[in-house]
Amino acid sequence: MSRNLWTLFLLFVLASATLAQRATTVAASEPYSLQSLNIALRQKVGRDLTEANLAILVDRNGVAFDPTPEAVARLRTNGAHQQLINAVKRAGERLSATANSTIIIHKEVADPFLDEARRNVRDYLDELPDFICQQDIERYFDYEASGAWERADKLSYELTYSRKQGEKYKPMNSIGRPPTRSLEDAGGATSRGDFASMLSELFAVDTKAFFKAAGKDRLGNRATRLYDFSVAQASAKLTVKAEGHPPIVVGYSGTVWIDEEKKIVLRIDQAVDDLPATYPVTSSESSIDYDWVKLRGIDVDFLLPIRAEFIIADRRQKMYFRNLLSFKFYRKFETDIKITDGEPVPPTKP
């Protein structure tokens, strides 16, 4: 399978200089309690505060609670994305280290459940057939740092996946809608690598991802085990790119949901760590959900992406972009068709 880097592409559009600045009312130095953080998610984000800026405040002010799996689940219920979750967990580690006067050393321990999930990921990637599906992208923006998203447009592509060539995107057009441009020319924020790449890179041996058990949860009617993970920049393959700037390789961290019974990955949330201060992207995060999908043409169920989301921003310019992706109409991609220029050669007589 070809290695397809998960590449985030951002085209910055200058916001109007007349946009009014919105002030936040969060205390400058008071650590967040679990209650105050949930209130901020419900009452401030989307009105006068972005979630990205709330994550910065958490990094700056800290938290006054232990971010247990139950506490994190409450934050997610109130809309917290991975960048904020990561900030809360970092603040929780600082709080714990201060209270115990100890240095926290992360060391991965033997975990038979995780080992089996790794093997299942490898088997899944080996068995994944070439296929075609429709990918719809609903794009949103926020140029006022309010946390409220305004709809920009909708793009549709025929997405072809093959092991040899990776992913290819062909614009799909509908009557009554503006024509869809190629992914390279679409402007705004776009992403690639929404299929096997994100999964394969996370569990690849040379990625050297560190995993830590993070409790249990339910996705729909499925019981899952959660693992937090982190990938250092030195071994990462995730790239971020801004218009007019070279792509950069970045470290990232997040959470993976693994089906407790079948030991397969059902969801991945991740956020970029430590972007350079001079780079015109200050935050980037993504999530992807997998489910069993029947592949037309062979009538076999495969674990495939059904929806994804990514958010990328430059908070210094008050420019925030959010894409919601959906995948449907999966079918097998036939690659054994031969095309010749001349007349067909008649069969040899016996």
Beta bridge partners of 295: 300
Distances (CA, A) of 254 to 60, 144, 210, 257: 20, 27, 10, 10
Q: What angle (nearest 5°) sits at the alpha carbon of residue 196, between those of residues 331 and 299?
A: 25
Rounded to an integer, what distance in angstroms lies between the CA atom of residue 229 and that of residue 244?
31
Rounded to an integer, what distance in angstroms lies between the CA atom of residue 131 and that of residue 109?
37
Residue for token digits 């390789």? Answer: 249
Rounded to an integer, what distance in angstroms lies between the CA atom of residue 102 and that of residue 100?
5
pLDDT tens, the chain, 350 aa long: 434 434 443 333 323 222 233 333 444 579 999 999 999 999 999 998 999 999 999 999 999 999 999 999 999 999 999 999 999 999 999 988 877 655 555 566 789 999 999 999 999 888 888 889 999 999 999 999 889 999 999 999 999 888 777 788 888 876 666 667 767 666 666 676 656 678 888 999 999 999 999 999 999 899 999 999 999 999 999 989 888 888 899 999 999 999 999 999 999 999 999 899 889 899 999 999 999 998 887 878 888 999 999 999 988 888 999 999 999 999 988 754 443 344 444 545 44
Sheet architecture: strand order including 7-10: 189-191, 7-10, 239-242, 248-249
pTM for the model stands at 0.83
Token pair of 139, please? 């794009």
